[in-house]
Structure 1
Amino acid sequence: MSKSLSADTSDSGVKNSIPRLNDRNWPDWCSKMQYQLDKEGTLWTIIKVPEKPTGTGDLPEFSYFLNLGAKPGMPRFIEKWQYDSDKAIRAMLPFLDATRHQEVLIMKEENKTAAEVWNALKERYQKSDDSTNMSLIVDLVQLEIPNGASLKHVQKTFDEHLLHLNKLRSSKITVEQILTSFTMRLAQQAFPSIVDSLSCQTESLKPETVVNRCLESARRSDEIGSDTPRTTLLLGKRKQGKDKCSYCRWTGHNSENCYIKDPSKAPPGSRQKFEDLKAKKEKERSRDPNTKRRKLSAKVQEDE
């Protein structure tokens, strides 16, 4: 009886140590939940037989350990698989947030398997592992033991060091991912939007990809902010397209700064040029039928 009580206490301790799944703790949640499902005897429906048995073929060798009764057969094996698959899904529910809890319930109603539920959670939360691993690596690199440190400080630092190592091991991070994390850390402050965007990618990411994206963004910013003739010409065209004079109908300025309307605003040395342009514009306006009608109407009003 004492052994049974001890086992129950141990299982309860494992359940209490399982965190609620979020964007930053998939490796920890994954390892502890797998341990719990293995203790309950349901992990095999996710790892060994992820798809529902069809009823054909021979029983797998490990079915001997499933307690299928005195006369084990394929129907009994399928029944046991369905029961343990549903049990595994129910075991995950208490350790999910409200949104994911509801999604898993819907998947269960749609007769999704425990493996399908597990893979859906993995796809959803493993996307944020890059940022988590990057934080772990940064913390790991920043740990140091100063000269003359006390035994207590040395022990504490080594404990933190081993804790970070175990977390990185459980995440199964590769050397390429570590190099990518360092590269993203280098670019984080100067290119936060690019780093955040790349962190959400599900495919494998290389350091060269991060570098090229950041350099491309830096080049665009440099071209926009530079005073090269090409950039000045482009910006000048954009500005001209925005302003249009209501007096002379030309673009590049407004009526308040119109050189033809007021030659005194013309740059030095170009006064005569704008006087000629003004005379030309007045001549064109005098030929305009609408202008003649306005002048005739004004003269009639004066005579009256």
Structure 2
Amino acid sequence: MTANMGAKLEDIGARKTVTGLLKIDEKTTAEEIAAYSVLNRKGYSKIVQNLDASNLALVSTTLPKNDCFNGCALWKLLKGKYTGSDLVAQSSALDHFLDLEFSNVGSFCSAIRLSNQCLVLANVLKDDQVKIMIMLRKLSRNQFQSFRDIIAMGFATETFELSVKRLESYAVFNNIKKEASPSSTTQATMMSTTTSTSKPGVLCLHCGKTGHHTHNCWVKYPEKAPKTKAAHLTVQDNYAQLADKSSSDSNGHFTYFRTPNGNCYHLDNCKFENVKYF
């Protein structure tokens, strides 16, 4: 019996009844028999509520109708399926535990609890510390690295069920809902790559260069161009315009400027007072 299931049955006082530790004999009083019957039915309900789909199917098709709501009979049926002498059952339970994958905290914790129940019933992988280490390896390092460190340093000797509860609490406290899937990450990377590589295909109808539209063409609108060399180096979308000889020199320095009154001039046309030009 798993620690989790045992604790749940113990909470309702049905653990000894369901597992057969408490037996009825000729000395048992009518009141004790009545109490035994009530606990046996409660134990049956508690076990059924914690079974996975495959075990529910087993119970519905295998358990005799006369044993309906008989917790002791249900326990014997499940224990018989996962008996320690059944190598096939042991292998199946171990494979299921090892093959579990993390998708989100809620479903992962439920699945690993049920898988651990199968391990205990099959009498395989009894060491809780080994199971805890296997569980930690299934968690994402990005989201659960600190949790892995906490368990490894301070709680490596506690029970498997307590470690699962700590995982649930950690996820709630840190607002961890779902692990990003590799496919979505790949898709996002492809989308960003496509977006970044599609920009050079834009063609300006005014100057015939790629990488910008007519409305922000520096040839048509010189006032929109960067005014310093440093600014040129930080501009990416319209960098192709720097090679335009009509708006810049061989070094990429722009030769147009606009005065505060709105007039646009070429540097060659600028004359300063009291300066002699040759």
TM-score by length of 1: 0.30
Kindly indicate whether structure 1 or structure 2 has the higher relative contact order, using CA contacts under 8 Å at least 6 residues apart.
1
TM-score by length of 2: 0.32
Return the structure number with greater helix share.
1
